[in-house]
Every structure is written in structure tokens, then in C-alpha cells.
């Protein structure tokens, strides 16, 4: 007999929180230290993609670790400081807008994670990467975890470090380029950002001119010029 599905809604949504189980299992396999890797800034129209690699101390795991997108600015800043003060190793790396344009955002993100891992002061035996891809060229075993920042505390720590560092970089860009509001939108395609680009144009070495809005504008301009010449 097939039991009918209840039509009453759940009283609450079950939110998955990261834990240390992947790292503990790896340690039992003899794969220790374990580093978590993640990036911030795949989607924006401007700025670098920033990655971080973190090796947590199993005896001193910070409270509040979670996917950086599920934390407020104040929460990220507080946990960031705790991570820096307690982790066995933390490293960051970035690929600039020109580097993104020269390849693509996926490759640039993986390269930033590889660089961050290579910059750790401790040599991991296993690297856990958020997403579906393992960065090529790692100096250790790599494993990809889909939604890793919501499952692994090491990846969650890396996501927080990457996000905080990128936000600070974009806030500094906002001080230099006051018309664009980078300190507010962090380079994402908000209405304010699009209006600023239309009024002042893209910034060399900061805007990702290979991204769709810039490509489409360029194609439309070329078509208009061609039409004006009667071709």
C-alpha cells in the first residue's frame, strides 16, 4: 500500500550546517593536514576573484563557521578574526580582471584556489574544494565537495576568509573610484553599478570586459558603426 504524502507544510526548514566529519574521516585515512578551499567573486562585473585555503586546528575550531553567504557582514568579520587567530594555516590568492578575461572565470577561480593552497605555511595531504571541480596542479590529493561550504567547516572557513578579503579589496577600490560605488555592491551588476558604467565607462584592469554586458555593448557599437558606413 502506498502511503499518501501529507499536504501539511513543514514547521521549519532543515538547514544543513558544516561540520568536521570529512576532515575527521580523512585523518583516519592518514590524510592530514586537511585544507579547505573556496573562492569569492565569480559573478561580479568588476574586481578579482579571491580564493582562500584554511587548515583548521581540530582542537580549536571557531564557533559560527558557515557558508559566508549565510552570514551577515558583522558575523563574517568576527569569525574571520577568529579563524586567523586559531587556524594552523591560512593563505589567500587572487586572479585579477585581466587574468579572468584572458581565460574564463571558472579557470581563474580554480587557479586562485591552487595559488592559495600553495601559499599555506603547512603542507596539506588533502585539499577539499568547494564545488564540482578540483583545481589542477595541486601539490596534494584534491577532492571536490558540492555545496562544500555548507558541509565542511574547513571549506566554510575558507569561504569566509575569501569573502572578507575580497570585500575589503573592493571597498578600497571604492575609495579610489568614487563614482562607481564598489564599497556598496562589491562589483556586482546592480542598477547603481550599471548606471555608473554607462556614465563613466568601464575601468581598465578592474572591469571584466569579457563578461556579457561589456561584450554585448561592444557588439552593438560595432553594428551601429557598420550600419553608419552603409555596409
- Pick out the chain residues at pLDDT < 50: 1-2, 8, 11-12, 218-231
> Are 57 and 87 a contacting pair, CB within 8 Å?
yes
Q: Give the bridge partners for 80, in sequence order.
A: none
pLDDT at site 71: 97
Write down the pTM of the prediction.
Answer: 0.87
Task: Quote the CA–CA distance of 186 and 170 in Å, as a whole number.
Answer: 5
Task: Quote the CA–CA distance of 26 and 32 in Å, as a whole number.
Answer: 7
pLDDT at site 225: 35
- Superfamily for the 21-176 domain: Ribonuclease H-like superfamily/Ribonuclease H (3.30.420.10)
- Please report, for the chain, the start and end positions of each structural domain, with discontinuous segments joined by +: 21-176
145 φ/ψ angles, rounded to the nearest 5 degrees: -125, 115
Residue pLDDT, tens place only, 14-45: 557 999 999 999 999 999 999 999 999 999 99
pLDDT at site 214: 86
Task: Quote the CA–CA distance of 46 and 19 in Å, as a whole number.
Answer: 33
Q: What percent of the chain has pLDDT over 90?
A: 84
> Are 114 and 135 a contacting pair, CB within 8 Å?
yes
Q: By C-alpha distance, which of 30, 14, 24 is closest to 152?
A: 24
Amino acid at each position: 500500500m502506498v502511503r499518501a504524502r501529507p499536504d501539511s507544510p513543514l514547521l521549519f526548514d532543515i538547514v544543513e550546517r558544516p561540520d568536521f566529519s570529512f576532515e575527521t574521516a580523512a585523518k583516519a585515512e592518514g590524510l592530514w593536514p586537511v585544507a579547505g578551499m573556496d573562492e569569492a567573486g565569480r559573478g561580479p562585473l568588476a574586481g578579482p576573484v579571491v580564493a582562500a585555503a584554511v587548515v583548521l586546528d581540530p582542537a580549536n575550531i571557531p564557533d559560527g563557521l558557515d557558508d559566508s553567504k549565510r552570514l551577515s557582514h558583522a558575523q563574517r568579520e568576527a569569525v574571520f578574526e577568529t579563524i586567523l587567530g586559531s587556524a594552523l594555516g591560512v593563505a589567500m590568492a587572487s586572479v585579477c580582471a585581466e587574468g579572468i578575461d584572458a581565460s574564463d572565470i571558472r579557470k581563474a577561480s580554480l587557479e586562485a584556489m591552487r595559488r592559495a593552497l600553495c601559499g599555506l605555511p603547512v603542507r596539506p595531504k588533502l585539499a577539499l574544494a568547494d564545488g564540482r571541480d578540483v583545481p589542477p596542479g595541486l601539490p596534494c590529493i584534491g577532492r571536490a565537495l558540492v555545496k562544500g561550504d555548507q558541509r565542511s567547516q574547513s571549506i566554510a572557513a575558507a569561504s569566509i576568509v575569501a569573502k572578507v578579503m575580497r570585500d575589503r579589496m573592493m571597498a578600497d577600490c571604492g575609495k579610489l573610484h568614487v563614482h562607481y560605488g564598489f564599497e556598496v555592491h562589491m562589483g556586482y551588476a546592480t542598477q547603481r553599478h550599471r548606471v555608473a558604467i554607462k556614465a563613466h565607462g568601464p575601468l581598465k584592469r578592474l572591469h571584466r570586459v569579457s563578461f556579457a554586458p561589456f561584450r554585448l555593448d561592444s557588439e552593438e557599437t560595432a553594428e551601429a558603426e557598420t550600419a553608419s558606413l552603409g555596409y
